[in-house]
Amino acid sequence: MTRVLNLIIMVISLWMISCESPDDLKAVSGIQGMIEIEGVLPDSIQAVALVILDVDVVQDQDHIADHLINYSDPLDESGEYYIQLKPGTYIGVLVGLLIDPGLFVVNIDEFLNAPELPLIQLSEVTEGALLIQEGIMQEKNWTLSF
């Protein structure tokens, strides 16, 4: 019985060691950092999020939702964000959510197809050009003042 138990422990130990091999992990690409909110959010803004758009949005700002790639978790106070992205060039824009963030995330497809989004743009499109490289998490901090 002890031999069987020792054999099982040895097999499990070898399996755990092989699973933690750093060669198996691939570095991710994207952007991370802090969104610093100075002052108090206006009553109309429920939360702030970083929205990642493709670069074609610069020529087509009337249809911003068509260029949405990804977005951060909504924040109602200063905090960290993390967005994984494929290598390429993107635009980052800070937006204010005019509705409850939970409702927005749950119904995002409906909002993206609506004529108007429940968002307000808080940073200029030209401020947020991002060049994402393979296997590198780019560090970028954003500051909003109210």
- For the purposes of burial, counting CB atoms within 10 Å of the CB of 145, is it exposed (0-12), middle (13-18) or buried (19 or more)? exposed
- The whole-number average pLDDT for the span 10-14 is 58
**What is residue 18's predicted lDDT score, i.e. its pLDDT?**
52
Q: Please, which residues have CB within 8 angstroms of residue 75's CB and are 6 or more apart in sequence?
A: 35, 37, 47, 48, 49, 81
**In which element (H, E) is residue 51 found?**
strand 47-54
Compute the mean pLDDT over every residue in the chain, rounded to the nearest whole number. Answer: 81
What pLDDT is recorded for position 28?
86
Domain ranges of the chain: 26-145
pLDDT computed for residue 9 by the predictor: 64
Residues of the chain with pLDDT > 70: what percent?
A: 77
pLDDT at 8 over 70: no
Per CATH, the number for 26-145 is 2.60.40.1120
Burial class from Cβ neighbours inside 10 Å (0-12, 13-18, 19+) for residue 97 reads: buried
Is the pLDDT at 101 greater than 60, yes or no? yes
